[in-house]
Structures are given as structure tokens and as C-alpha cells.
Chains A and B, each alone.
Chain A
């Protein structure tokens, strides 16, 4: 079988996303920011609308909106009146709804809403790949730079602050990185499924990791595997690609739970002899 170019692009796009989402997703899991990721993704639809309104590249519209949204959340978190999850609930659904309203008002324009919500991995172009790999490489480099500080902040924020870590900077940079990742994964996974690529591979990696770094690498590997399996299944059974990747990721997660349970039983059985 000859690999058609659109399939190659889809595969490359998915893999690029998996490399970035794995390590970043670990921090999303460790810092319990799943809902934050989701909210950020929801705000991306507003970015799509803005992109069309201002006739700029949609990816830039999304990135810009996500960055503003992320900064607004970080700023509002400094006040303690409204709990963060309430704040996220208010802002994310408002942003999603304003995006939908704005898109429908631009009546003449035909927007592939389904594609934005669930991703359209098979329409990835070489230009998209440039954005995914360029933005992804940048995000990974920045993550590597702040890795140590961010881990310290994640374990104990006050302890980190007392020991001279620039806590606010680490949190801010990480939030911006998430905004970038949401923007570049929009095309591949879609607004409603972006968080899954952050969370599921990281959760899958946990059972096999002994250090934070190995968990990050394993998460990237789990993401890669999910993309390959999901796209293969999508091709074979003609299912939508984004959801297929998520189903594959979930299957791997279940498998990891099973393997971990099996390993534990083996340990218990061996224990008396060692």
C-alpha cells in the first residue's frame, strides 16, 4: 500500500503533538490542571471567530486568545474571592459560547464547526506541520528550561518560594506553554479532545515511571503509540480520526492498569521467596 501524502501529514501531525503533549501533560496531571486545560481549549473557539473577523491566520487567532485567557486566569487567581474552578467554569463556557455566537453571526462564512470541535487530522497540511513542529519544539525547549523550578513549585509552592524559586514566573510560563500547545493541537485533536492528549498518556505512563522525567518520556511514547494505533484504526474502519486516537489512548491506559495489577500480583507471589 502506498502511504498517501495526507495520511503521512496526519501521522506526522499527530506524532508532533504527542511529543509535546506527553511531557506537558504530566505537569497538567501533577498540578491537577485538567479543568484548566479544558477551559483553555474552549476559549480557542473564540480565537477561531476572531481569526475570521480580523482575517488573520486562525492559528494565531487561537494562540492569541488562549494567551489572553491564560493570563486572565493567572491574574484572577491572585484574588481569593472566587474559587479557581468556579472562575474557569464561568470563563470557559462564556468564551466557547461567544465563539459560537460570533461564528453564527458571520452567516455567509461556512465554518467547519465539527472539524474545530473534534479535530480534522486528515486535513493537516505541510504548513500546519510547520506550526506544530515549530511551536512544539519551542514549547519543549522552554519546558526544559523551567522544568526544575516548575517541579519544585508543583511539590510545594511555599517551600519553593522560601528557597528562592521564582514561583510566579514558573507558573506563568507554564500557563503560556499550555496556551501554545492548545493552539497547535487544535487542527489535529479539536477543542473538545485536546485535553485528552494531555491527560491520558500521562496517566498511562504513571504506573511504569520511577522519576518525573521518565514519566514525561513514557507519556510521550504512550501518545505516539496512541496516534499510530488510532490513525490505523481510523483508516481501516473509516472512523473519525481524532476520536479514534482518543479511544486508542484510553485502551492503552486500561492496558497499563492491567499490567500494573498483574505486576503487583507477581510481586506478592514472589515476596515469600525473596
Chain B
């Protein structure tokens, strides 16, 4: 297989036990270039564990995880509890594990909509600003895959919408794959191509609108959660994420980027994002 016909990262039959407790059971998940996958599930459903396994921070108890050779992963953790006792400017936070020039840092901060923060002390940042700086950190690595853990947890409603816009823009401009993790079912971003619903195993997956009507989804989150998706539909007219197409997008979405990556004609068992979007139930 050529590199392009492989997913960025794929988990197959992944199980994870913490002591006697099985947190993940037989999980299959893939992320392809240029697609935004939202991993959702209630608290304690194993989302973060799965993300850590995909990132290589944890090893699975059983099953395999394959990453594309040479794949660089950008990780945006949920929180970065910076202690007041550690003097750390944003510029230093950006270059913790990889060096970068000031120009490059300025450029990437502008890309995430947080210019002028370069010399600010990290502890003085607001929740939204810190989130943007953390995304900038990940982007400095030029990642093929961007993993965001609860990216909107510490951000107010408007900030959340702006962050979703930002994530959609990053995907479009950079063509990287994006995996977001969220327990917040009420606000799955409109630009999401695929929702994967996890509760120790994968219950269902598909485009946002389809998943929210799936019996397995209703069973986990309750019928009151049914109209959850689509609360936020894109009301801006960004050319790259024409909201209507996505919100209504029962498999018919058409992001300009997705065809730059010839994964649609992949090997057996894989399919283009449009086809995958139609697939709903797995269990």
C-alpha cells in the first residue's frame, strides 16, 4: 500500500484494561487526512483513553494501532494547569519540545487568531487564549494529525463557535486529519465529517445527523439528547465550509480538500469519507 492509501492512524480490535476493569473493548477507528472525526461519549466512556492509545501515550492491552510512517501528531490536551510558581512566557510554552524562530511563532499565533500573545505570561491567558496557544503549539509541529481533547471545555459559547471555525479552517488550509474528543453532545461542530460514538465499545458512527437518530445513541444518551446535533450550524459564509452542505450533509458533503487525498480509492475495507458517512451502525 502506498502511504496515501492508508489512514493516518488506525486502531484495530483495541482493548484496554485498567486492573480488572475493561475500559475499551474491541474498538476499531481510523482517521484519514483532511477529515474531522468527533469522538463523543459520556464521562468515563473511555474517550480519552482511546485518544491516548492513538497518540501512543498508552499501550493497548490487546489489538493493534498503526500510524503512517513519519506521521507527526499534534496533541492539544484538555487542560494545561500552569502553576504560578513556574515563570513561562507563551513563546517558551510554544517551544517546549521543539525549537522555532520568533517569526514562525508569530505566524502560527496569527493563524490561530491569537496574535500579540508571544511575550505574555502563560498564567495570564484566558481559557480561550490558552486553547488557541495550545493549538498553535501543535501546529508548529506541522502535524499530519491533530488531536484535540475537549477543545471547548473551558471556553464560553461564542468562544466555542470561534474555535470550531478555527479547527475547520486549519483542516481546510493544512489538509490534516482532525480528531476531536467531546462529552458535550450539544455542540458537535458543523464541519465534522464523522461522529464516532463511544461507550467502552463503538456504538455507532456516521454523519452528525444520522448518529443522533441511531438507537444505540439514544440508548446511551437518552431520548432528550436526540435533537442535540445541529444546534450549531455554520452561519458564516466561509467558502470552505459551506455550512448548509455539512449540517444537512447526510453523506453528501463536499469539502474541496477531501479529494486532494486519494484515499477514496483505497484498498478493501476502506472507503472515501462520503461512503463512510453513510455507514451508521457497527454494533
Proximity bits, A138-155, B CB within 8 Å = 1, else 0: 000000000010011011
Contacts of B92 in A (CB 8 A): 211-212
The answer to whether B80 and A162 touch across the interface, beta carbons within 8 angstroms, is: no
Contacts of A159 in B (CB 8 A): 75, 77, 80, 96-97
CB of B245 closer than 8 Å to a CB of A: no
Q: Which of B56, B88, B121 contacts A162 (CB 8 A)?
A: B56
Query: Whole-angstrom distance between the alpha carbons of A126 and B85 in the complex?
Result: 37
Contacts of B86 in A (CB 8 A): 30, 154-155, 212
The answer to whether B97 and A164 touch across the interface, beta carbons within 8 angstroms, is: yes
CB of A270 closer than 8 Å to a CB of B: no
Q: A152-B96, A155-B80 are in contact. Are A163 and B89 (CB under 8 A)?
A: no
The answer to whether B96 and A160 touch across the interface, beta carbons within 8 angstroms, is: yes
Query: Whole-angstrom distance between the alpha carbons of A214 and B141 in the complex?
Result: 27
Contacts of B56 in A (CB 8 A): 161-162
Query: Whole-angstrom distance between the alpha carbons of A15 and B73 in the complex?
Result: 45
The answer to whether A155 and B82 touch across the interface, beta carbons within 8 angstroms, is: yes
Q: How far is the CB of A63 from chain B (nearest CB, A)?
A: 29
Contacts of A160 in B (CB 8 A): 96-97
Contacts of A211 in B (CB 8 A): 87-89, 92
The answer to whether A155 and B87 touch across the interface, beta carbons within 8 angstroms, is: no
CB of B1 closer than 8 Å to a CB of A: no
Contacts of A155 in B (CB 8 A): 80, 82, 86, 88, 93, 96
CB of A273 closer than 8 Å to a CB of B: no
Query: Whole-angstrom distance between the alpha carbons of A92 and B133 in the complex?
Result: 41
CB of A156 closer than 8 Å to a CB of B: yes
Q: Which of A164, A165, A210 contacts B87 (CB 8 A)?
A: A210
Q: How far is the CB of A77 from chain B (nearest CB, A)?
A: 16
Q: Please report whether the interface of chain A is mostly helix, strand, loop or mixed according to DSSP.
A: helix
CB of A183 closer than 8 Å to a CB of B: no
CB of A206 closer than 8 Å to a CB of B: yes
CB of A264 closer than 8 Å to a CB of B: no
The answer to whether B57 and A206 touch across the interface, beta carbons within 8 angstroms, is: no
CB of A29 closer than 8 Å to a CB of B: yes
Proximity bits, B121-147, A CB within 8 Å = 1, else 0: 100000000000000000001000000
Interface size range of chain B in the complex: 20 to 34
The answer to whether B89 and A210 touch across the interface, beta carbons within 8 angstroms, is: yes
Beta-carbon contacts under 8 Å, B56-98 to A: 56-57, 73, 75, 77, 80, 82-83, 85-89, 92-93, 96-98
Query: Whole-angstrom distance between the alpha carbons of A163 and B75 in the complex?
Result: 8
Q: How far is the CB of B162 from chain A (nearest CB, A)?
A: 23
Contacts of B98 in A (CB 8 A): 163
CB of A209 closer than 8 Å to a CB of B: yes
CB of A85 closer than 8 Å to a CB of B: no
Q: How far is the CB of A244 from chain B (nearest CB, A)?
A: 26
CB of A57 closer than 8 Å to a CB of B: no
Query: Whole-angstrom distance between the alpha carbons of A25 and B52 in the complex?
Result: 31
Q: Which of B52, B83, B97 contacts A163 (CB 8 A)?
A: B97
Closest residue of B by beta carbon distance from A214: B87
Q: A159-B75, A161-B57 are in contact. Are A212 and B82 (CB under 8 A)?
A: no
CB of B37 closer than 8 Å to a CB of A: no
Q: How far is the CB of A216 from chain B (nearest CB, A)?
A: 10
CB of B55 closer than 8 Å to a CB of A: yes
CB of A44 closer than 8 Å to a CB of B: no
Closest residue of B by beta carbon distance from A152: B96
The answer to whether A156 and B87 touch across the interface, beta carbons within 8 angstroms, is: no
Closest residue of B by beta carbon distance from A209: B87
Q: How far is the CB of B6 from chain A (nearest CB, A)?
A: 20
Closest residue of A by beta carbon distance from B99: A148
The answer to whether B57 and A152 touch across the interface, beta carbons within 8 angstroms, is: no
Q: How far is the CB of A192 from chain B (nearest CB, A)?
A: 23
The answer to whether A162 and B96 touch across the interface, beta carbons within 8 angstroms, is: no
Query: Whole-angstrom distance between the alpha carbons of A203 and B84 in the complex?
Result: 11
The answer to whether B55 and A30 touch across the interface, beta carbons within 8 angstroms, is: no
Contacts of A197 in B (CB 8 A): none
The answer to whether A163 and B141 touch across the interface, beta carbons within 8 angstroms, is: yes
Closest residue of A by beta carbon distance from B95: A148
Proximity bits, B95-126, A CB within 8 Å = 1, else 0: 01110000000000000000000000100000
| A-B contact list, 30 entries, CB within 8 Å | A29-B85, A30-B83, A30-B85, A30-B86, A148-B97, A151-B96, A152-B97, A154-B86, A155-B86, A156-B77, A156-B80, A158-B52, A158-B77, A159-B77, A159-B80, A160-B96, A162-B75, A163-B75, A163-B98, A163-B141, A164-B97, A165-B97, A206-B85, A210-B87, A210-B89, A211-B88, A212-B87, A212-B88, A214-B87, A215-B87
Known: A30-B85, A206-B85. 9 other contacts (CB 8 A): A159-B75, A159-B80, A163-B96, A203-B85, A210-B87, A210-B121, A211-B87, A212-B87, A215-B87
